[in-house]
Structure 1
Amino acid sequence: MRLNTAVSRPEASILATNKMLKNTYMLLSMTLLFSALTAGLAMTLNLPHPGMIVSMIGYFGLLFLTTKFSNSSLGLVFVFALTGFMGLTLGPILSMYINAFSNGHELILTALGGTGVIFLGLSAYALTTRKDFSFMGGFLMVGILVAFLAGIGAVVFSMPALSLAVSAMFILLMSGMILFQTSAIVNGGESNYILATVSLYVSIYNLFLSLLQLLGVFGGND
């Protein structure tokens, strides 16, 4: 009986991890698709960007509600509300790039492809090596806070150089977040697939926007 128990525990752990991964990636795929649909709707209707203040209130408010109800079915509702809202704010940004640059569509597709390659590459590395990246948590939180405040400063004081530096920082930080979150799923540090999905979605969203901004500056054709 002892031998059977000892064997069943690792098996149960593996099954739980596989279920967590399946649920997370399934929900992540659905939220990315839903976000793309709302972004496309915003572009079709030519909706204006809501502005930094409204975007921040909407994002942090829906993020709070998603976290609060992450252990109930309401959490799923707020996940789609959050990602749908972020898609609506993304649509006007994409329209701006298309209108501002003759190669705007190419920039968007390149940023999308780069985001996909980075996400898949880092996720595959974390899944295959099963390394524990939990030590990065504190550094990432501080780095994101600093980059976030610097980004606000760049917008308020109109500092293009700082804005570019913030984009570069976010590419590195979001890449680190993908490693951190995927590692947490694999090693049992995260057992809530709703929270895991939100973390990965936000990382992908910010990674895409940061790549797009850098491509617009260095590869955009007026």
Structure 2
Amino acid sequence: MMIVLVCCDKVRRTFPVNLICLMVFTLLESFLLGTTASYYGHDEVMIAAGICTFVCLGLTIFAFQTKWDFTMFGGMLFVALLVLVCFGFICIFIPGRYLVFDTQMMLGGKHRYSLSPEEYIMAALNIYVDIVLLFSFILDIVGFANRG
């Protein structure tokens, strides 16, 4: 579903198909995240959810008010993503930067790069995936700390 939404412009720009695809993606992603979270204790999941909520709100407020333009770091973020794929332990240190980047892409304005208003599905998908990844990283950290 994510490949369809990212690669097919007509699908993500055509109402109501775009909303249906986003809803299907969200349901599938929530099933995947729920399955992953079931391997952890309820205290670990609640701690991770609280930390994730706090971090996401803080980064979103930062993205709205900062004068720093994170949208010009697109190429560097892609390289960082490749590094994360090859060396997963780096994920612990930089998961929040993608949320700031994607939030500023959604805002537009004076930033170098931005998404057009027609790309609201792409913006929602980017931010949703950022938050899910951040929650997963935090859950891994909390789960590891409680087991260690």
Matched, 1:138 2:59: no
Q: Which runs of 5+ in 2 are unaligned?
A: none
Secondary structure, aligned partner of 1:195: helix
Aligned ranges for residues 119-158 of structure 1 at < 5 Å? 119-151=56-88
Root-mean-square deviation (CA, aligned residues, Å) is: 1.8
Structure 1 runs (4+) greater than 6 angstroms displaced: none
CA distance in structure 1 between the partners assigned to 2:75 and 2:38 by the alignment: 36
Which is greater in Rg?
1
Which residue does the alignment assign to 2:13? 71
Q: Distance in 2 between matches of 1:139 and 1:72?
A: 31
Alignment of 1:1-222 (within 5 A): 62-67=1-6, 68=8, 69-73=11-15, 74-97=17-40, 104-151=41-88, 165-169=89-93, 172=94, 174-188=95-109, 189-191=114-116, 192-220=119-147
Which string of whole-angstrom CA distances, capped at 9 and with x for unpartnered residues, describes residues 27-69 of structure 1?
A: xxxxxxxxxxxxxxxxxxxxxxxxxxxxxxxxxxx11211211
**Partner Cα separation in structure 2 for residue 134 and residue 95 of structure 1:** 35
| Alpha-carbon distance in structure 2 between the residues aligned to 1:220 and 1:182 | 34
C-alpha distance in 2, partners of 1:93/1:129? 34
Provide the identity percentage: 28
SS at structure 1 position matched to 2:54: helix
CA distance in 2, matches of 1:175, 1:143: 12
Q: Which runs of 5+ in 1 are unaligned?
A: 1-61, 98-103, 152-164
Helix, strand or coil for the counterpart of 1:70? helix
Indicate conservation of the 8 Å contact 1:131/1:183, yes or no: no
Q: What is the rounded CA distance, in whole Å, between the counterparts of 1:71 and 1:111 in structure 2? A: 34
Name the structure where helix makes up a greater proportion of residues: 1
TM-score normalised by length of structure 1? 0.58
Q: 1:149 to 1:86 in 2, by over 3 A?
A: farther
Would you say how many aligned residue pairs link Structure 1 and Structure 2?
Answer: 138
Aligned-partner Cα distance in 1 for 2:21–2:85 = 23
| Corresponding letter in the other structure for 1:187 | G
Q: CA deviation at 1:96?
A: 1.4
TM-score by length of 2: 0.84
